[in-house]
């Protein structure tokens, strides 16, 4: 499957396979969970929204602990991944037997915590096993595996619902996928964390958050966090606000589904070429390219609603640009953080990077949902506002590029 991809450490390829299999399970529940809990369990949409949102709260705690555990000589990346997959499997089983609001909240709290533990550890493993430009391609490969698994899972889930008619089985399949990932890590992934001697001597200090304080004193990381929250807010608009906007502008559910399938195909096909094309740029410069693509995409989505003709064509072009913007952003962002992080603080640095996603997904749906409930001028103008915000994004990235050049 990955023979045509860049030459990478075999452990990275094994991890990519594990993530591919795990994301198939995630795809089983991604779009269908809210439908199941409202239509079959009988909960209100508000209750389901609150319960799903609770995963972000536990996810913040999971990301903090995930970074600390990943960078601990007494714990490390591999045990953190094993713990995250075990908790996630239990969470899926809890969701499979959900019959009321409290059980749904419990399942989502466990799910968010498991996911939070997962991201700092898995990103740190990739960083440990790669260097330089190879690192960006390695992150691209693992993201490609994620997207492929997710797409296959969504398709299989639709077929399973059509034949078996049961949603609870989807969560059981998701739990099985986490067990499979647990087995892959347990049997085939080695511990990659190698603490420096000085770090081993100060382990007691590390447990008191010295690592986090050191990371937050790094001006490069602080500036990156600011711009990364903006990027993750953009990504959240694509996944939460855009479907509502397309519906408001007259697109049917089938058309919206087809557009997002198109976007996923573009992302899968464009991930590796985009990563290779951006090799010539520094990480902040590559992120500037992504920001410009987001701006053009926002303008095209605005045209989707206001143009007198070609609504579908504008939507196809805009969502295609969003796909390329996303795959240009994710490997460059992770590589930048891994490159500036001290070896024995990679877990903490990547945990902070992961926390940006939690913040962006708290901001994005909130402001996007508010905009979609306003007058038509605000509904349409919201996308132009996002396009203009890219000016600020690029300004911060240019400042970050200068800081990195001075540091080097």
pLDDT at position 205: 45
Q: Which CATH number fits domain 218-408: 3.40.390.10, 1.10.340.30, 1.20.1250.20, 3.30.1320.10?
A: 1.20.1250.20
CB atoms within 10 A of CB 310: 12
- C-alpha–C-alpha distance, residues 139 and 221, integer Å: 19
Q: Which CATH number fits domain 1-194: 3.40.50.1370, 3.30.360.10, 1.10.3210.10, 1.20.1250.20?
A: 1.20.1250.20
- Each as own residue / partner, the long-range contacts of residues 317-321 (CB below 8 Å, 24 or more positions apart, any chain) are 319/238, 319/242, 319/259, 319/260, 319/262, 319/263, 319/266, 320/262, 320/263, 320/266, 321/293, 321/294, 321/296, 321/297
Residue 10, class by beta-carbon neighbours within 10 Å (0-12 exposed, 13-18 middle, 19+ buried)?
A: exposed
CB atoms within 10 A of CB 308: 5
> Between the CA of residue 139 and those of 135, 145, 376, 390, what are the distances in Å?
6, 10, 40, 24
Tokens encoding 245: 């906007």
pLDDT at position 214: 86
pLDDT at position 1: 45
With CA atoms as reference, report the closest residue to 242 among 304, 307, 309: 304
pLDDT at position 279: 84
pLDDT at position 201: 45
Rg of the chain taking only CA atoms, in angstroms: 21
pTM of the predicted structure, to 2 decimals? 0.76
Helix 101-128, helix 77-96: angle, nearest 10: 160
Render each residue's pLDDT in the chain as its tens digit; 408 residues.
445 456 778 899 999 999 999 999 988 887 677 767 877 888 876 677 678 777 878 888 998 899 888 888 888 899 999 999 999 999 999 999 999 999 999 999 999 899 999 988 998 899 899 887 788 788 888 988 998 898 888 778 877 877 877 789 999 999 999 999 999 999 999 999 877 655 544 554 444 467 788 888 999 999 999 999 999 999 988 877 788 788 788 887 677 767 877 888 898 888 888 888 888 899 999 999 999 999 999 999 999 988 888 899 999 999 999 999 998 998 889 889 988 988 778 888 888 888 888 888 778 777 887 888 888 899 899 999 999 999 999 999 999 999 998 876
Outline which parts of the chain fall under CATH 1.20.1250.20. 1-194, 218-408
Q: What are phi and psi of 242, to 5 degrees?
A: -60, -45
pLDDT at position 5: 56
């Amino acid at each position: 499957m990955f023979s045509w991809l860049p030459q990478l450490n075999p452990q990275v390829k094994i991890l990519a396979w594990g993530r591919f299999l795990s994301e198939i399970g995630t795809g089983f529940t991604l779009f269908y969970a809210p439908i199941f809990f409202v239509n079959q369990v009988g909960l209100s949409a508000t209750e389901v929204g609150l319960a799903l949102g609770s995963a972000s709260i536990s996810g913040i705690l999971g990301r903090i602990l995930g970074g600390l555990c990943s960078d601990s000589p007494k714990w490390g990346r591999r045990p953190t991944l094993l713990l995250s997959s075990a908790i996630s499997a239990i969470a899926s089983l809890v969701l499979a037997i959900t019959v009321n609001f409290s059980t749904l909240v419990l399942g989502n709290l466990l799910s968010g915590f498991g996911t939070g533990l997962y991201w700092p550890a898995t990103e740190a493993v990739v960083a440990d096993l790669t260097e330089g430009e190879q690192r960006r391609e390695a992150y691209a490969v693992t993201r490609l595996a994620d997207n492929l698994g997710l797409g296959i899972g969504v398709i299989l889930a639709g077929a399973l619902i059509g034949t078996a008619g049961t949603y609870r089985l989807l969560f059981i399949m998701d739990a099985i996928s986490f067990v499979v990932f647990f087995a892959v890590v347990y049997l085939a992934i080695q511990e990659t964390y190698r603490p420096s001697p000085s770090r081993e001597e100060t382990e007691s200090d590390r447990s008191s958050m010295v690592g986090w304080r050191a990371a937050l004193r790094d001006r490069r990381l602080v500036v990156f966090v600011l711009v990364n929250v903006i990027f993750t807010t953009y990504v959240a608009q694509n996944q939460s606000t855009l479907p509502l906007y397309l519906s408001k502008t007259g697109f049917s559910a089938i058309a919206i589904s087809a557009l997002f399938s198109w976007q996923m195909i573009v992302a899968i096909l464009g991930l590796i070429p985009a990563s290779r094309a951006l090799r010539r740029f520094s990480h902040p410069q590559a992120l500037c390219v992504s920001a410009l693509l987001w701006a053009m995409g926002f303008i095209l989505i605005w045209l989707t609603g206001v143009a007198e003709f070609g609504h579908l064509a504008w939507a196809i072009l805009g969502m295609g640009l969003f796909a390329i913007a996303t795959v240009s952003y994710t490997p460059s962002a992770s590589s930048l953080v891994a490159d500036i992080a001290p070896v024995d603080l990679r877990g903490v640095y990547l945990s902070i990077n992961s926390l940006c996603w939690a913040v962006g997904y708290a901001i994005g749906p909130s402001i996007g949902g508010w905009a979609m409930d306003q007058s038509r001028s605000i509904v349409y103008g919201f996308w132009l506002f996002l396009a203009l915000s890219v000016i600020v994004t690029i300004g911060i990235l240019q400042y970050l590029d200068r800081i990195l050049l001075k540091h080097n």
